[in-house]
Chains A and B, each alone.
Chain A
Amino acid sequence: AQSVTQLDSHVSVSEGTPVLLRCNYSSSYSPSLFWYVQHPNKGLQLLLKYTSAATLVKGINGFEAEFKKSETSFHLTKPSAHMSDAAEYFCVVKGQNFVFGPGTRLSVLP
């Protein structure tokens, strides 16, 4: 069975500083992995996906994630945070269905 752990329930960064949101997964086979973002009172939007091609995946709005099989990790990064990045971020592994992590709330301070 697949599962996802997001190590931080809340991350706070200053505008212009790097963002790191951590995700570890468990999967019995080569996984498909995704990051989704949910802005307040808005729907879920796909940021990026990994489906066994390049291990470094680039997404929208300057985000990227690196798949590391040896560490079973798929951490999300961005070099410079913007105020508009403040949202809830979900790491997701695809098995029979999409298994969501508990989410990390990102706050961006001015």
Chain B
Amino acid sequence: GAGVSQSPSNKVTEKGKDVELRCDPISGHTALYWYRQRLGQGLEFLIYFQGNSAPDKSGLPSDRFSAERTGESVSTLTIQRTQQEDSAVYLCASSSSPNTEAFFGQGTRLTVV
């Protein structure tokens, strides 16, 4: 597609429920990143996929967070048993190679009530 697409754009969920966020990267981009941005703060790295290599999960804040990517296409970020502190904008980005700039999606705004 023309850009990185994320869905849903907004998600309100009850505390304790599981949520799944989706990211469609730019076609042909081998690298895919997930970040979290809490209100008024900078971007916090979550996870990085590069081709078929094992993902870099070093930024995942707890075992309630997981992500998958099928080949070089869609990625899903799953948050289990959501907590209020999970409320944030979740941003996905892709790049054509590890050393080029990243293109960001519009994000999914997650609100846990």
A residues sitting closer than 8 Å to B (CB atoms) are 32, 34, 36, 42-46, 49, 51, 90, 94, 96-103
B residues sitting closer than 8 Å to A (CB atoms) are 33, 35, 41-43, 45, 48, 56, 59, 91, 93, 99, 101-107
Task: Report how far A42 CA is from B107 CA in the complex, Å.
Answer: 9
By a CB distance below 8 angstroms, the chain B residues around A43 are 91, 104-107
Task: Report how far A42 CA is from B43 CA in the complex, Å.
Answer: 14
- Known contacts A43-B105, A43-B106, A44-B104; is-contact A90 B48 (Cβ 8 Å): no
**CB closest chain-A residue, reference B91:** A44
Instruction: Determine whether the beta carbon of A98 is less than 8 Å from that of B33.
Output: yes
User: What is the distance, in angstroms, from A30's C-beta to the closest C-beta of chain B?
Assistant: 11
Instruction: Determine whether the beta carbon of B56 is less than 8 Å from that of A97.
Output: yes
**CB closest chain-B residue, reference A103:** B42
Instruction: Determine whether the beta carbon of A96 is less than 8 Å from that of B91.
Output: no
Instruction: Determine whether the beta carbon of B48 is less than 8 Å from that of A96.
Output: yes
By a CB distance below 8 angstroms, the chain B residues around A99 are 45
Name 21 interchain pairs, CB-CB below 8 A, sorted by A: A42-B106, A43-B91, A44-B91, A44-B93, A44-B104, A49-B101, A51-B99, A94-B99, A96-B48, A96-B56, A97-B33, A97-B59, A98-B43, A98-B102, A99-B45, A100-B42, A100-B45, A101-B42, A102-B41, A102-B42, A103-B41
